[in-house]
Amino acid sequence: MSLGFFRNLTKPKPKPVVEREHCVAGRTLPLKIVESARARRLTLRIDSGGQGLRITVPPGLRRGEVEKFLDRHQDWLEQRLAKVPMRPQVRPGIKVPIRGVPHRIVHEPAKRGTVTIARDDRGPLLIVHGERIHLPRRIADYLKREAKREIEKLVVKHTEAIGKRAKAIRYKDTSSRWGSCTSEGNLSFSWRIMMAPPPVINYLVAHEVAHLKEMNHGPKFWKLCEKLCPDTDRCKDWLKRNGGALQAIVFE
């Protein structure tokens, strides 16, 4: 999300990033103020999942102008943050989606530190063993393992379909994108995608694999993407509408 107005570029030399906090809509969010030699206007952005704010400013702009900019757009921030869910902390009792299906987290400390899927009369369970302090990390590790197992199979399927090979596959926890493909053929995916429904996982992999052949988002790329994943439009829309909620979940 972005909003900005034009300012005159006064100095070419940028200053270091300034980091602070900003209170808005009942939340205290980290705020980065970044000077850019190419910036000719102030640009305000909300990070994916509402995890922070970022203002890009022209070099030499007075700090007071930044404060006035924030004051003028406080309502804008509040309206948009109201649509972004609060960041739920992974803990026993809450539900976390696994392949699109909500699983209630159950902590069983007496057993060894593993994660298993089960079900009771209330629905699917995600049972986490071991010490309570390690529970969020163990769930994150579980999602990473599931991502590696499922995504690698999908990469093989889609690369064989287009006659290309991926040089490497990496898994990250990125806040700005769900996947990427480099010109060298390296694919990267956010392991959080394992919380999305299977068709959406398949779409993400098809999207990045299509970039091995079409390093752009032109008509040929989307045609290839839809060939690999006929549900491209529906899955892309799902990720746009629900991705922020998945990014907001805290695994710390």
Domains and CATH numbers, the chain: 2-81 (no CATH), 138-248 (3.30.2010.10)
pLDDT in tens, 106-144: 999 887 878 999 999 989 999 999 999 999 999 999 999
Burial string for 169-186 (b: 16+ CB within 10 Å, else e) reads bebeebeeebbbbeeeee
Per-position b or e across 194-218, b if 16+ CB within 10 A of its CB: bbbbebbbbbbbbbbbbbbebeeee
Question: Which tops the pLDDT comparison, 252 or 162?
Answer: 162
Question: Tokens 């991705």 sit at which residue?
Answer: 243
Longest dimension (CA), the chain: 66
Q: Which two tokens stand for residue 96?
A: 């976390």
pLDDT tens profile 191-215: 999 999 999 999 999 999 999 999 9
Q: Give the per-residue pLDDT at 111.
A: 78
Question: What is the separation of C-alpha 145 from the centre of its chain, rounded to a whole number of angstroms?
Answer: 18
Helix segments in the chain, DSSP class H:
63-72, 74-81, 135-162, 198-210, 219-228, 232-248
**What count of other Cβ atoms lies within 10 Å of the Cβ of residue 75?**
10
State the Cα–Cα distance between residues 189 and 62, nearest whole angstrom: 39
Structure tokens, 232: 């491209």
Q: How far apart are CA 64 and CA 176, in angstroms?
A: 29
pTM of the model: 0.70
